[in-house]
Amino acid sequence: MNGTIFDIKRFAIHDGPGIRTTIFFKGCPLHCSWCHNPEGIESRFELMPNSSRCAADCTECLKVGPDILAKKDGRIVLKRAVRGDALCSRCADACVYDALRLVGKRVTVEDITAEVEKDRIFYEQSKGGITFSGGEPLLQPVFLSELIDELKTRGFHLALDTSGFAAWEVLERIAGKCDLILYDLKTMDDAMHRKYTGVSNRLILDNLRRLSTIGKPIWVRIPFVPGVNDDEENMRRTADFLRPLPNIKRISVLPYHKGGCEKYTNLGKGAGFRAFEPPSEERVGAVLGLLSGGEFQVRRGG
């Protein structure tokens, strides 16, 4: 059984308790306008240049992909977004300067297990573990389930980071095997959710209601994006929705940052990305106050 990931981040400290290894699954059913991991949206492999590594006098990659690659001011750029294993691999292999990255890797349960075992001592000392993130891990439920089964036999603490946009049967089965759920909540307004993520929030909200009853601790994470969900009405509706739910242990407010802008451009998808302005410290503080008052902890970040 193979899965497709786009990154493994060791020594992560913002994806659950303690020191963790975060596995980033490739593919997501949402297309959030502010996404800081746009390389995780497509399920297929992609080509992503890193122009800072490009040698001005080198043209080896242009010989392989002249229809998709160009030089601009001595640096490599994509003419258009490129998806597909064969062409992406050939272009990336042609670059000796590591200026073309193949985004996507097929892995087995054994591959992931060997990687996370390297840091077992850090998990044990910090009460950390493994987090499945993305993209959306629930898009690969069979592989994810097998991976969880193996890691559970080895005694690792496991966290699922999800958008909640999945069939309830899939979410219930996977969440039931994990120790902690990190659940993204964008906005309570369905029209705004459709506009900025491409999907309705009805399934997400319904799944969170149901998930809160299965006895697993949940950390709700709210990406705080000015002009999308930063208005007082939305935050009050969010607080009112979450307070009655059992097992909500924490709400994390994640202020928007522009970390995804360059990635979108490098992927040849600049037209599909919208840059927002980061929220002020005063506004973040006000929202933290609005969300407080329940049985859960409210914090910035993480």
Name the residue among 118, 60, 51 with its Cα closest to residue 93.
60
Over the stretch 110-123, which tens digit does the pLDDT of each residue have?
A: 999 999 999 999 99
- pTM for the predicted model, two decimal places: 0.94
Torsion angle, CA of 142/179/176/145, rounded to 10 degrees? 10
| Residue 274 shares a structural domain with residue 138 | yes
DSSP 8-state secondary structure symbol assigned to residue 115: H
CATH number at residue 32: 3.20.20.70
Rounded Cα gap, residues 290 and 151, in angstroms: 38
Query: Are residues 59 and 204 part of one domain?
Result: no
Q: Give the residue with greater pLDDT, 120 vs 261.
A: 120
In a shared domain, residues 136 and 276: yes
DSSP lists the bridge partners of residue 105 as 5
Both tokens of residue 17?
A: 């308790």
Separation of alpha carbons 33 and 93, rounded Å: 31
User: Can you tell me the mean pLDDT for 262-283?
Assistant: 84
What is the span of the domain harbouring residue 173? 2-42+105-300
pLDDT for the residue numbered 265? 83
| Tally of domains in the chain | 2
| Region of poorest pLDDT, from 68-77, 83-92, 251-260 | 83-92
d(CA 252, CA 297): 8
For 229, the 3-state DSSP assignment is coil
